[in-house]
Amino acid sequence: MSGIDGVSHSSRPIVPSRKSRKSSDLSDEILALLGEELTVKLAETLGGRRVYIPICVREKNVLSAAIGCDAAELMSEQFAPAMLRIGIFRTLRAHHYKSQGLSAGQIATRLCMTETGVDKLFRRERNVARGAK
């Protein structure tokens, strides 16, 4: 933000937007870079938020606190400097939780949705898989 004097007083650097990148493409990049386990962890802690990806990763950075310094460093190498909108990865998380043996009710609670919504999510996935065969 600029003050009355026209000088920027924001503590955050201004980062060029990546409007040419679709959010699904970004989600795919993050998943490929971090793998399922860390992507789920990222979505659980920072999903739905805009997060600054710094050039220099520090332990006290919100990203490092969420996924660890090594994974934050990977994201930094790939995306920095940037402000990214972290996806919620609902489908990935649902499958991850199901593979851990959680019930539809437990998955619904973790994803902040109804059990019916979870059932529909898995049904849609099955229907898409059948259509692809």
3-class SS string, 92-109: HHHHHHHHCCCCHHHHHH
Under the banding of pLDDT at 50, 70 and 90, the label for residue 108 is: very high
Mean pLDDT of 1-18: 46
Mean pLDDT of 28-49: 97
Supply the pLDDT for residue 13: 45
Collapse the DSSP code of 45 into the 3-class scheme (helix H, G, I; strand E, B; otherwise coil) and give the result: helix
Task: Give the tokens for residue 55.
Answer: 């050039």
Kindly list the distances between the CA atom of residue 7 and the CA atoms of 4, 14, 17, in Å, as whole numbers in the listed order.
8, 13, 21
- In the predicted model, is pLDDT for residue 129 greater than 90? no
Instruction: Compute the distance between CA of residue 105 and CA of residue 10 in angstroms, rounded to an integer.
Output: 43
Kindly list the distances between the CA atom of residue 31 and the CA atoms of 61, 62, 86, 105, in Å, as whole numbers in the listed order.
21, 19, 11, 25
Task: Give the tokens for residue 17.
Answer: 């937007």
Task: Give the tokens for residue 54.
Answer: 């710094």
Instruction: Compute the distance between CA of residue 60 and CA of residue 71 in angstroms, rounded to an integer.
Output: 14
Name the average pLDDT for the chain.
Answer: 87
Bin 10: left if φ > 0, else alpha if -120 < ψ < 50, else beta: beta
Chain segment 60-77, per-residue pLDDT in tens: 899 999 999 999 999 999
